[in-house]
Amino acid sequence: MSIDSLDSGPGDSGSGEWPIARDVDARDLRCPLPLLRAKQALRDLASGEALRVRATDVGSVRDFQSFAELSGHRLLHQSEEAGVYTHILVKS
């Protein structure tokens, strides 16, 4: 998956909107802390709920891609703006 890819949300006709159930601010945290914070937050979500994580560690892009592949959670979106990487995961 490349950065800036976006799938449509439930009932969405392509706008890419997905309701965020939880937001994690992992800016200024180094690997592996952004991913660890995301894992902790995912435990509290129900299946199908979305988690948004904001991080400044460039390695988080690869980390979240690998995590989604291995865990079965859906990596819905990744983007970068002004050095902040946004990842949206949907719990499986």
Residues annotated as catalytic (active site), given as ranges: 31
DSSP track, 18-48:
--EEEEEEETTPPTTHHHHHHHHHHHTSPTT
- Amino acid letter at 66? S
